[in-house]
Amino acid sequence: MSDDVKISIRNLYKIFGADPQSVLPLARSGMDKAELLETHRHVLGLRDINVDMKAGQMTVIMGLSGSGKSTLIRHINRLIDPTSGEVVVNGEDVLAYNDAQLRELRRVNMSMVFQKFALLPHRTVLENAGTPLEVRGVPREQWEDEARKWLDRVGLEGQGNQFPHQLSGGMQQRVGIARALTSNADIMLMDEAFSALDPLIRTDMQDLLLELQAELHKTVVFITHDLDEALKLADHLVILKDGEIVQQGEPQHILMQPNDPYIVDFISDINRARVLRVRSVMTRTEAAPEGIAGDVEADANLESVIALSGGDTSLRYRVVRDGRQVGLLSVKDLVRALVPTAASGEGIRARAG
């Protein structure tokens, strides 16, 4: 994964209403969403959003309904224009783009996968997958080969002559992903892409996305309201509430150090043993260990170590990555990590200030 910033969102505000500019100073001064609506009949969609999305990583934006997550993703390709702020993609301010530049951005640099699949019912699966290249004027014999390649890659080999209504929901969403990949765009925007799917199919799609991402290293912006999905997919997690960022960072860090009671409530019901990784709990050291019970991988979850240890809290394990020691893990520390963490005072004071 790269440290290069692919998408940078700076000081972004979005206010819906008759005259957003007139109430922008009130939003900047801290007037909350409910008061802005009640006293000025404007809706605060986003307030002072600042996020850097790195190339080759998956940034997951999550929050409950009305938190502003879908509004935010639509600013990246300028389906929505902000009331104030900057959206920089590949070092360029997309808010300054003219219509021709915007079309190029949406056709070439970005692809989008929708919750409702958005397939054209009168076109075959192959034709749906090839749409991005066909729109660019690529000859059919060329885009057919590319579309067929990606249909095969997402598990739809031999389905090209079918029509969308002949496929299950999970298969239709695979067509949507193949279409996004056929475009060869280096940025993929995925708005609640798996939310309409049954749980088992949803898990399969998450696994497919992770497999593709490990191979292709796209810059993915993924919207979800599901915490388990967010923790599974995210390299960088952004949690929204009422149009504001409550906390963002590496998911394991957020789990271990929530900075707001809202986050504490959000993560209170998750299975910590299943989602916490050994690297988040271990003591970092390369010193030669004594009396260890064996090796565990840094990215293994704690549930696997509990099973390995048989619940014996006296045991210690050497933690390895790529065959090299990166730390030590005691089962006692593992057990302590399973106790939910209270919001850190520093985080709460920072938000209050």
Domain assignment of residue 265, yes or no: no
pLDDT, average across residues 238-252: 95
The CATH number given to whatever domain includes residue 230 is 3.40.50.300
Domain end among 218, 249, 280: 249
The predicted pLDDT at position 350 comes to 41
Residues 26 and 161 in one domain: yes
**Can you read off the two tokens belonging to residue 49?**
């959003």
Residues 139 and 286 in one domain: no
The predicted pLDDT at position 343 comes to 62
The β-bridge partners of 316 are 330
Residues 289 and 226 in one domain: no
Could you give the number of structural domains in the chain? 2
The predicted pLDDT at position 42 comes to 97
Residues 91 and 197 in one domain: yes
The predicted pLDDT at position 353 comes to 39
CA atoms within 13 A on the CB side of 256: 16
Residues 219 and 182 in one domain: yes
Asked if residue 159 has pLDDT above 50, the reply is yes
Lowest mean pLDDT across 134-138, 146-150, 164-168, 285-289:
285-289
Question: How does pLDDT run across 168-205, given as a tens digit for each residue?
Answer: 988 999 999 999 999 999 999 999 989 888 888 899 99
pLDDT, average across residues 28-32: 93
- Give the range of the structural domain holding residue 311, as residue numbers without chain letter: 272-337
The predicted pLDDT at position 346 comes to 47
The predicted pLDDT at position 344 comes to 53
Task: Find tokens 């997690």 and name the residue.
Answer: 237
Asked if residue 342 has pLDDT above 80, the reply is no
Domain assignment of residue 347, yes or no: no
The predicted pLDDT at position 347 comes to 46
pLDDT, average across residues 86-114: 93
The β-bridge partners of 8 are 52, 88
Residues 210 and 295 in one domain: no
Strands of 283-284's sheet in order across: 283-284, 324-330, 316-321, 295-297
Asked if residue 285 has pLDDT above 70, the reply is yes
Domain assignment of residue 263, yes or no: no
Strands of 43-54's sheet in order across: 43-54, 5-16, 84-89, 92-93
Asked if residue 149 has pLDDT above 50, the reply is yes
Domain assignment of residue 259, yes or no: no
pLDDT, average across residues 149-174: 92
The predicted pLDDT at position 265 comes to 87
Residues 181 and 121 in one domain: yes
Residues 289 and 177 in one domain: no
Residues 182 and 321 in one domain: no
Reported confidence tier of residue 289, pLDDT bands at 50, 70, 90: confident
Domain assignment of residue 27, yes or no: yes
The CATH number given to whatever domain includes residue 299 is 3.90.1280.20
Domain assignment of residue 350, yes or no: no
Instruction: Of 38, 35, 63, 37, give the one whose Cα is nearest residue 49.
Output: 63
Residues 61 and 101 in one domain: yes
Mean pLDDT, the chain, integer: 91
Taking the C-alpha atoms of 319, 322, 326 and 327 in order, what is their torsion angle to the nearest 10 degrees? 0
The β-bridge partners of 111 are 188
Domain assignment of residue 91, yes or no: yes
Reported confidence tier of residue 349, pLDDT bands at 50, 70, 90: very low
Reported confidence tier of residue 1, pLDDT bands at 50, 70, 90: very low
